[in-house]
Amino acid sequence: MGRTYLVEEGIGQYLSELSTAVKPYVTGLLIGQCSPQRDYVIRAVRTPPKDQHEEQNSPPKLASLDEEWITTHASQVSRMLPGGLLVLGVFMIASPELAKDGQNALRKLIFSVEKSLTKRRLWKPAEEEVSDRAALQICSATKKVVCRTYDVQDPKSSAKPADWKYQSALSASWLALGCTVNVNIHIPLLATSPNHDLEKNTKNGLNRWSKQIEDSVFLINGQVKDDDTELLEGQKKSRGNTQSSTQFSDVKVLTQLCQGSSHRSTATVQVCSGSINLRGAVKCRAYIHNNRPRVKEAIQALKRDIINTLSDRCEILFEDLILNEGPQKKSFEREYHVLPQRLFVPVPGSSVMLSDYKFGDEAAGEIQERFVELLDQAVQAEEIHTAEGISTVDICPVPDNLEDTQQTQLTKATLLLKLQQNMGVVVAAAVAILASIFSFNYFSD
């Protein structure tokens, strides 16, 4: 028996409008949430035209599909999805003469998109997690819908049939979880690190930090709940109101500042020539469909949003630096940058909000253009809710003539500081409660 996709009714109208396009085919992404029993689709988003002449001059063969353009679009869209939402698959609306090759093209796109998204993630999917992705094909002439799935964990996976069912008010039936996470990540730059690769070192540091998040304790509305407990347990009286209002759970994240006795580790002395510090408070949010969700599923969605939002904004920062300063920058003078702030925009007719990031000098018009281009969604300026305050980036130079004696002093000081941090867990826990402005600092010795 194949999977069932419950689809927001408005998506049918959206796909119908796309099928009237002049071009011989249209591709796009399906956005929603997986669950063990069924998947929920709340958005379908067309692939943006590569240029203004693309629609009129599109070649008539599916072999000409720009795979890189489509996977890049998927990567950009994935940044805009809060916890719990993901790219569930791809769709194609094609003329009858192209329908024959449609499934082969969709299969190729599904695996390319998943490979691109997996490469950016700092977390690994759970063993029991759903790995099927949808390939939706619609004939522009007959409007016939064919939905199949492929297991993206199996490169040799063959197509399996799936049910595609429209449902009204699907987008309103969601539960929201939110939290603020205080971040204080110290990433040393080894003296042996070639050219002080900031992006690579930052990603390595975030990888270590993400494991801390995975091992954290999450309090939902002030309580620790068993993984298999229903998220709505104790709130059943309000379940009937979920169609008109959003049920929101406030979550506190308790991060372990040191490993338990079962994970013993030894101190390592490393010669460093600088460090990267990530500090501040990040706003995180996740959504779970209101169909008897378990605590485990909700916490997993929120964990991934915490990890993704910090990783994504660092990635956006480095992309911006490359655009403005070039990829081969040799030396780093002291500079200050503004980190992208997180903002949220509601999905039309839904309790779900999508996410995006803006730099301080970006106007509302630029954000609106980005939503139209990437999500095919018109956004009013008053609908843009900025979640965080101004953040800064401080990049300090690394001297080329660091003396050996200075380096030895640095190593001893770093080790001493590390020992003090390990011994001062209680003090550190109190400090971690304090809110601070999220910043990215690159310090030299």
Q: Helix (H) and strand (E) counts for the chain?
A: 9, 18
Q: What is the distance between the alpha carbons of residues 88 and 117, in angstroms, rounded to a whole number?
A: 11
What is the average pLDDT across 279-293? 88
Q: Is 416 exposed, middle or buried (0-12, 13-18, 19+ CB in 10 A)?
A: exposed
Amino acid 251: pLDDT: 94
* pLDDT at 408 (0 to 100): 42
CB distance 221 to 233 below 8 Å: no
The pLDDT of residue 159 is 93
% of residues, the chain, pLDDT over 70: 75
* Top CATH class, 4-168: alpha beta
CA distance 356 to 79: 7
- Do 327 and 199 form a contact (C-beta atoms < 8 A)? no
The alpha helices in 19-128, defined as continuous H runs, are 54-57, 67-79, 102-120
| Confidence at 417, pLDDT banded by 50, 70, 90 | very low
Please compute the mean of the pLDDT values over residues 86-103 and round it to a whole number: 90
Is 21's pLDDT higher than 90?
no
Q: Backbone phi, then psi, for 7, in 5-degree steps?
A: -120, 135
* CA 313 to each of CA 123, 193, 212: distance values in angstroms, whole numbers, following the listed order: 16, 23, 19
Q: Specify the amino acid at residue 440.
A: F
Q: What is the dihedral of CA 79, 82, 83, 85, to 10 degrees?
A: -80
290: phi then psi, degrees, rounded to nearest 5: -80, 70
Q: Are 419 and 372 in contact (CB under 8 A)?
A: no
CB 201 within 8 A of CB 187: yes
Asked if residue 75 lies in contact with residue 120, where contact means CB atoms within 8 angstroms, the answer is yes
Comma-separated ranges of CATH 3.40.140.10 domains in the chain:
4-168
Give the DSSP per-residue string, 172-216: G-EEEEEEEEEEEEEEEEETTSGGG-HHHHHHHHHHHHHHHHHT-
Q: pLDDT tens digit string along 360-413?
A: 788 999 999 999 999 999 999 999 998 776 555 455 445 555 444 444 444 444
Can you give the pLDDT at residue 241? 44
Residue 33, both tokens: 């949430």
CA separation for the pair 410, 408 (Å, rounded)? 5
**Kind plus residue range of the DSSP H or E element containing 14:** helix 9-18
Digit-coded pLDDT (tens) for 181-217: 988 888 877 777 655 577 888 888 899 999 999 999 9
List the beta bridge partners of residue 220.
223, 251
As a whole number, the mean pLDDT across the chain is 79
Residues of the chain with pLDDT > 90: what percent? Answer: 43
HEC string for 373-428: HHHCCCCCHHHCEECCCCEEEEECCCCCCCCHHHHHHHHHHHHHHHHHHHHCHHHH
Query: Tell me, what's the pLDDT at 319?
Result: 86
* Higher local confidence (pLDDT), 83 or 318: 83
